[in-house]
Amino acid sequence: MRITILTLFPDMMRGILETSIVGKAQKKGAVTVDYVDIRKFATDSYGSVDDRPYGGGAGMIMKVDVLHAALKSVVTGESHVILTAAGGALFTQKKAREYADTRKHLVIICGHYEGVDARILKYVHEEISIGEYVLTGGELPAAVITDAVVRLLPGTFTKDGVAENETYTKYTKEPPQYTRPAEYDGQSVPEVLMGGDHKKIEEWKETNETTK
């Protein structure tokens, strides 16, 4: 899979996505993540990527011609383009699975400033939000989406099935988990988890899957 992120801050994205699980997945060849600096497609000597909104209002709006030029530089017939937007459809584990299973090239446009010129939506397949709150830009949502998708790709984890036994995948809420020591500050690990009976352990997990 290939994920391309259109952003004003590519170095910020590299700092997040070239470490930990996503960074390891790239080294293994499970995914390719690349970055397009939107500012390189500005049409003036100042590198302008935004302008005042028609009709007035606070803030600045990202320019459609600049965004579209950046988008055209990477889009192919296999690309699925999403725009991070506070008012978009809520990103879920189901959506992450859909992307991981069906998309070969995911393009994520990071909005910024007060928003983007609405005419860019002609070239976008989906608007996606990671929650009902407003962020400074789309870089953090793009990182969240990328992380959630990459961990579902074959080859990301050394052991098969790691991502299949998690919250919102197998369980509504993942059951409590424990490790050594078996007792700590008056709290003990449930005996069933130390007994080695895998059937009973699975039954316990299913019974406790909604426990916070």
Q: Distance (Å, rounded) from C-alpha 91 to C-alpha 100? A: 13
For the chain, the structural domain boundaries read 2-150, 171-207
Q: What is the mean pLDDT of residues 143-148?
A: 98
Q: How confident is the model at residue 168 (pLDDT cuts 50, 70, 90)?
A: low
Per-residue model confidence (pLDDT) at position 212:
43
Q: Is the pLDDT of residue 203 over 60?
A: yes
Q: Which CATH number applies to 171-207: 1.10.1270.20, 3.40.50.1580, 3.40.30.10, 1.20.210.10?
A: 1.10.1270.20
CATH 3.40.1280.10 fits 2-150, yes or no: yes
Mean pLDDT of 167-171: 56
Cis-peptide into 154, omega within 30 deg: no
pLDDT confidence band for 211 (50 / 70 / 90): very low
| pLDDT single digits (tens) 100-126 | 999 999 999 999 888 999 999 999 999
Rounded average pLDDT over 197-201: 94
pTM: 0.86
Instruction: Specify burial of residue 38 (Cβ count, 10 A radius: 0-12, 13-18, 19+).
Output: buried
State residue 165's pLDDT score: 55
| pLDDT reported for residue 172 | 66
Dist CA 79 CA 88 (whole Å): 19
Query: Cβ contacts of residue 23 below 8 Å, gap of 6+?
Result: 17
Q: Alpha helices, DSSP H only, in the chain?
A: 10-17, 20-28, 64-72, 93-102, 139-150, 191-194, 198-207
